[in-house]
Amino acid sequence: MAIWCRALAIDRWRLNHAGPENAKAGTNDHGEAPIVLVGETAHGPRIAAASRAAMAAGAQPGMLLADARALCPHLVVHPSDPPGDRAFLENLALWAQRWGPWSALDLPDGLVVDVTGVAHLFGGEAALLADAAASFAGRGLTVRLAVAPTAGAAWGLAHYGPDRTSLSADAGVLKGLAPLPVAALRLDADVVLLLERLGLKRIGDLAEIGRAALARRFRDRRSPAANPLMRLDQLLGRMPEPILPVLAAPLPMVQQRLMEPVRHRALLDRVVEDLACALVRRLEEQGQGARRLDLALWKVDGDVLFRRLELAAPTRDPAHMTRLFAGKLDDLDAGFGIELVRLAAPWAEPLALTQSDLDAAAQTHGTSLAACIDRLSMRLGAEAVRTPVPHASHMPERAQRWAPPLGNVALQEGLEKGIVPSGRPLKLLDRAEPIAVIYEAPDGLPRLFRWRGHVHEIARAEGPERIAPEWWREKGGARLRDYYRIEDSAGRRYWIYRRGLPGDGRGGAPEWFLQGLCA
Amino acid sequence: MTPVSLPRIDRSAHWQPGLGDACRHVEIFASADEASGAGLALAFALDAARESADHRPWLWVQDKTAIRLSGRPYRPGLPEGLRHRLLHVAADRPEDALFALEEGLRCRDLAFVIGEIAGNPTSLDFTASRRLSLAAEKHGVPLWLVRLSARHDLGSARMRWDVDSVSSPPPRWNRDAPGAPCWRARLFRAHTFQPGQWVLGHDGEANRLVAVRAVAVRAGEDEGACTSGAAAAPDHGDLVQGAGDRPLEAEPRRA
Where along chain A do its domains lie?
A: 2-166, 172-236, 253-378, 386-421, 427-517
In sequence order, what are the residues at sequence separation of 6 or more whose Cβ sits closer than 8 angstroms to the Cβ of residue A117?
none
Cα gap B142→B159, rounded to integer Å: 12
Cα gap A185→A239, rounded to integer Å: 14
Q: What is the pLDDT of residues A213-261, one digit of tens each?
A: 888 888 888 888 888 888 888 888 888 888 888 887 778 889 889 888 8
The model's confidence at residue A28, banded by pLDDT at 50, 70 and 90, is very low
The answer to whether residues A314 and A348 touch, using CB atoms and an 8 Å cutoff, is yes
Average pLDDT over residues A146-154: 86
* Interface subset of B 197-236, CB within 8 angstroms of A: none
Please name which of A356, A385, A396, A405 lies closest in space to residue A484, comparing C-alpha atoms: A396
The answer to whether residues B89 and B100 touch, using CB atoms and an 8 Å cutoff, is yes
* Interface subset of A 478-497, CB within 8 angstroms of B: 485-487, 489-493
Asked if the Cβ–Cβ distance from B245 to A418 is below 8 Å, we say yes
Average pLDDT, chain A: 83
Measured torsion, CA atoms of residues B45, B46, B51, B57, in degrees rounded to the nearest 10 = 70
* Closest-CA distance of chain B to residue A476, Å: 28
Please name which of B116, B97, B129 lies closest in space to residue B38, comparing C-alpha atoms: B116
Give the lowest-confidence range in A280-289, A357-366, B157-166.
A357-366
Average pLDDT over residues B210-233: 44
Asked if the Cβ–Cβ distance from A426 to B77 is below 8 Å, we say yes
The DSSP H or E segment spanning A173 is helix A173-177
* DSSP state letter for A43: T
Pick the more confident residue, A139 or A514: A514
Pick the more confident residue, A364 or A389: A389
What pLDDT was estimated at residue A483? 92
Average pLDDT over residues B153-161: 90
Burial of A217 (0-12, 13-18, 19+ CB in 10 A): middle
* Interface subset of B 28-47, CB within 8 angstroms of A: 33-36, 38-39, 42-43
Describe chain A by its helix, strand, coil percentages, rounded to 5: 35, 30, 35
Nearest neighbour of B106 by CB, restricted to A367, A405, A419: A367
Burial of A260 (0-12, 13-18, 19+ CB in 10 A): exposed
CA angle B195, B62, A431 (to 5 degrees): 115
Asked if the Cβ–Cβ distance from A372 to B107 is below 8 Å, we say yes
Asked if the Cβ–Cβ distance from B103 to A459 is below 8 Å, we say no
Nearest neighbour of A462 by CB, restricted to B83, B165, B178: B178
pLDDT over 80 at B174, yes or no: yes
The DSSP H or E segment spanning A233 is helix A228-236
What pLDDT was estimated at residue B251? 44
Q: How many C-beta neighbours within 10 Å does residue B61 have?
A: 30
pLDDT over 50 at A49, yes or no: yes
β-strand pairing of B159-165 with B25-30: parallel
Rg (CA), chain B: 20
* Closest-CA distance of chain B to residue A462, Å: 5
DSSP labels, A349-391: EE----PPPPHHHHHHH-B-HHHHHHHHHHHH-TTTEEEEEE-
Tell me how far CA of residue A222 lies from CA of A213, A215, A227, A231, A472, in angstroms: 16, 11, 7, 11, 35
The answer to whether residues B133 and B104 touch, using CB atoms and an 8 Å cutoff, is no
Cα gap B190→B159, rounded to integer Å: 4
Query: Which residues in A lie closer than 8 A to residue B77 (C-beta atoms)?
Result: 424-428, 516, 518-519
Query: Which residues in A lie closer than 8 A to residue B174 (C-beta atoms)?
Result: 462
What pLDDT was estimated at residue A419? 63
The answer to whether residues B229 and B214 touch, using CB atoms and an 8 Å cutoff, is yes
The answer to whether residues A378 and B99 touch, using CB atoms and an 8 Å cutoff, is no
The model's confidence at residue A21, banded by pLDDT at 50, 70 and 90, is low
Asked if the Cβ–Cβ distance from B74 to A425 is below 8 Å, we say yes
Phi, psi of A21 (to 5 degrees): -65, -45
Omega before residue A261 within 30° of 0, cis: no
* Closest-CA distance of chain A to residue B173, Å: 12
Q: A339-355: b or e for each residue (b if 16 or more CB lie within 10 Å)?
A: bebbbbbeebeebeeee
Asked if the Cβ–Cβ distance from A376 to B100 is below 8 Å, we say yes
The answer to whether residues A483 and A493 touch, using CB atoms and an 8 Å cutoff, is no
Global pTM reads 0.59
Cα gap A185→A156, rounded to integer Å: 6
Q: How many C-beta neighbours within 10 Å does residue B143 have?
A: 26
* Interface subset of A 346-375, CB within 8 angstroms of B: 365-369, 371-373, 375
Q: What is the pLDDT of residues A271-322, one digit of tens each?
A: 999 999 999 988 888 888 888 999 999 988 888 889 898 888 888 888 888 9
Measured torsion, CA atoms of residues B33, B37, B40, B46, in degrees rounded to the nearest 10 = -120
Cα gap A337→A264, rounded to integer Å: 8
Query: Which residues in B lie closer than 8 A to residue A419 (C-beta atoms)?
Result: 244
pLDDT over 70 at B192, yes or no: yes
Query: Which residues in B lie closer than 8 A to residue A517 (C-beta atoms)?
Result: 33-35, 70-71
The answer to whether residues A342 and A296 touch, using CB atoms and an 8 Å cutoff, is yes
pLDDT over 90 at B65, yes or no: yes
Average pLDDT over residues B108-115: 91
The model's confidence at residue A358, banded by pLDDT at 50, 70 and 90, is low
Residue A425 sits at the chain B interface (C-beta within 8 Å): yes
DSSP labels, B78-143: S-TTTGGGEEEEEESSHHHHHHHHHHHHTBTT-S-EEEEEES--TTSSHHHHHHHHHHHHHHT--E
Cα gap A432→A511, rounded to integer Å: 11
Average pLDDT, chain B: 79
Sheet with B113-118: strands ordered across: A400-403, A385-390, B86-91, B58-63, B113-118, B143-148, B25-30, B159-165, B182-190, B196-203, B208-218
Query: Which residues in A lie closer than 8 A to residue B178 (C-beta atoms)?
Result: 460-462, 485-487, 493, 518
Domain A2-166 fold: MutS, DNA mismatch repair protein, domain I (3.40.1170)
Domains of chain B: 20-166 (3.40.50.300)
Tell me how far CA of residue A392 lies from CA of A68, A223, A466, A480, in angstroms: 54, 35, 17, 18
Query: Which residues in B lie closer than 8 A to residue A384 (C-beta atoms)?
Result: 89-92, 96, 100
Tell me how far CA of residue B88 lies from CA of A5, A11, A96, in angstroms: 55, 56, 51
ipTM score of the complex? 0.80
Sheet with A481-488: strands ordered across: A436-440, A446-451, A454-467, A481-488, A493-499, A511-517, A427-434, B72-73
In sequence order, what are the residues at sequence separation of 6 or more whose Cβ sits closer than 8 angstroms to the Cβ of residue A153?
A167, A173, A176, A177, A235, A236
Q: How many C-beta neighbours within 10 Å does residue A72 have?
A: 17
Closest-CA residue of chain A to B244: A418
Domain A253-378 fold: Dna Ligase; domain 1 (3.30.1490)
Pick the more confident residue, B231 or A513: A513
Asked if the Cβ–Cβ distance from A372 to B109 is below 8 Å, we say yes
* Interface subset of B 144-173, CB within 8 angstroms of A: 164-168, 170
Tell me how far CA of residue A343 lies from CA of A37, A56, A277, B148, B231, in angstroms: 37, 51, 11, 45, 71
Q: What is the pLDDT of residues A181-210, one digit of tens each?
A: 888 888 888 888 988 888 888 888 888 887
Query: Which residues in A lie closer than 8 A to residue B168 (C-beta atoms)?
Result: 487, 491, 493
Give bridge partners of residue A306 from the DSSP assignment.
A296
The model's confidence at residue A179, banded by pLDDT at 50, 70 and 90, is confident
Asked if the Cβ–Cβ distance from B109 to A387 is below 8 Å, we say no
Cα gap A283→A351, rounded to integer Å: 9
In sequence order, what are the residues at sequence separation of 6 or more whose Cβ sits closer than 8 angstroms to the Cβ of residue A300?
A261, A335, A336, A337, A338, A339
Phi, psi of A416 (to 5 degrees): -110, 20
What pLDDT was estimated at residue B237? 47
Residue B93 sits at the chain A interface (C-beta within 8 Å): no
CA-based torsion, B188, B190, B196, B200: positive or negative: negative
Cα gap A278→A272, rounded to integer Å: 10
Q: What is the pLDDT of residues A455-500, one digit of tens each?
A: 999 999 988 899 998 888 888 778 899 999 999 999 999 999 999 8
* DSSP state letter for A421: P
What pLDDT was estimated at residue B27? 93
The model's confidence at residue A157, banded by pLDDT at 50, 70 and 90, is confident
What pLDDT was estimated at residue A514? 93
Cα gap A115→A128, rounded to integer Å: 9
